[in-house]
Amino acid sequence: MKIEASTLLLLALASPSAITGFAPTTIPASRTNNVSLNMASGVTRNPNFAKLQGGYLFPEIGRRRTAYLEENPEMADRLISLGIGDTTMPIPPHILSGLVEGATKLGTQDGYTGYGAEQGQGLLREKIASVLYKGLIEPEEVFVSDGAKCDIMRVQQMFGNNVVSAVQDPSYPVYVDTSVMMGQTGEINSETSQFDNMVYMPCTAENDFFPDYASLPRADVVYFCSPNNPTGAAATREQLTQMVNTCKERGSILVFDAAYAPFIRDPNVPKSVFEIPGAKDVAIEVNSFSKYAGFTGVRLGWTVIPSELKFSDGSLVRDDFNRVMTTAFNGASNIVQSGGLACLDEEGQKEIDGLIDYYLANAVMLKEAMESIGFKVFGGDNAPYVFVQLPEGKSSWDMFSEILEQAQVVTIPGAGFGPGGEGYLRLSAFAPRDSVIEACARLKKTMAPKA
């Protein structure tokens, strides 16, 4: 006897045992009650995540921006962003051709490649060492990745939770948040808004935003960014030499974030920590093509770990980082690495210079606009960020809201970068020129002292 499919379906819906021959499992009422009343699993939450304060800064800015537009939908076309440091200019033709070539090869039998070396393509590592570092480092010391931000977390995974970290205050939030996630810190101190068991290095207008690490408690790992996000300060050769020497004397490892190196125009400002004698004994450098070539969405970066750098037991730091990369990473996209090679050609370097000049011109305009209003302004010379000192007693979050509501311009409150950023506002030069010109006009009107 044949049974139609529709009949089988009806039988299955009415009584599964009619088809399978097995009666369905009966779940005890006590268990179903527990599920219905409490959907939580039996897994304990990582307590370190409970220490984190609110949301990560930039999504919080996005949330507030979205909330404003929901209340004021007519302002959607008027909104200008000087907030997150995301590039806006298109990827230049030669660099783009490298990406296209990399993708095209995958459609051919001879050009197709699958998994590659987790450390990056050999030719790209060689060109990074020769073109960007002028031979100061070796290709095997370069680890190609999907960006500096990701590498900071990988560095943290390598160091583990039994270290004390030092950060600039204010600083890029990733250094603090990843330290908290790894379990390196204690709880947040409600009085200082700082985490226990972490060294905060004050960077203020009074010390030219350069920390005096030698006067502070020793840390195992020191995170230092130059040109700096958010202050725009760029460490001079003398200052960076001082930092390297202090780390060497104290047995600290310096993690140098050089993501904004291409914006440096002052010959007395090093683009790499490895320009400093002795740095290979104490320093790691993270960098990225994000700001070089508009790769914020493409994702390509690298970390340099010198062969000379060792842990206290004499083992090579490079070997442990290599283990992290080979265990938890399958290598940067082969398409993206092809674009990275194009960045390092002579023509690609010229295109990068053009992009950087464009954004630096924006920074000059923003800085001059703020100074014309009467504000004290920092950065904007060797960096794409302008750090504006607000009138005494003015909250940076209040100023953020005021500018958003009155001028429809998104900025970043300095307090979002740590307690040391309170009283400041960060403006990003990563915006189209027309938007920067219009934003300057609006800011002059909104932030000008009231008569």
Q: What are phi and psi of 120, to 5 degrees?
A: 110, 160
Q: What is the pTM assigned to this prediction?
A: 0.90
pLDDT tens-digit series, residues 224-234:
999 999 999 99
Where is 401: in which H helix or E strand?
A: helix 396-407
- Residue 327, CB-side half-sphere exposure with 13 Å CA sphere: 9
Q: How far is CA 58 from CA 61, 85, 259, 408, 430, in A?
A: 5, 10, 18, 17, 15
Q: How many residues does the chain have?
A: 451
Separation of alpha carbons 15 and 134, rounded Å? 75
- Could you tell me the pLDDT band of residue 57, with boundaries at 50, 70 and 90? confident
The two three-digit tokens of residue 77, written as one number: 């076309």
Across all residues in the chain, what is the average pLDDT?
Answer: 92
d(CA 166, CA 211): 11
pLDDT in tens, 58-87: 788 888 999 999 999 999 999 999 988 899
How far does the chain reach from its first CA to its final CA, in angstroms? 95
Q: What stretch of H or E contains 338? A: helix 334-343
Helix (H, G, I), strand (E, B) or coil at 254: strand
Cβ partners under 8 Å of residue 444, min gap 6: 369, 372, 373
Q: Using one digit for the tens of pLDDT, what is the confidence trace for 230-254?
A: 999 999 999 999 999 999 999 999 9
Provide CB contacts within 8 A for 346, sequence distance 6+: none
Span 422-449, average pLDDT: 94
Rounded Cα–Cα distance for residues 166 and 418 (Å)? 13
Whether the pLDDT of residue 12 is over 60: the answer is no
Q: Is the predicted pLDDT of residue 20 greater than 50, yes or no?
A: no
Determine which helix (DSSP H) or strand (DSSP E) holds 287, and give its type and residue range: strand 283-288
User: Is residue 29 very low, low, confident or very high in pLDDT (cuts 50, 70, 90)?
Assistant: low
Give the model confidence (pLDDT) of 337-377 as tens digits: 999 999 999 999 999 999 999 999 999 999 999 999 999 99
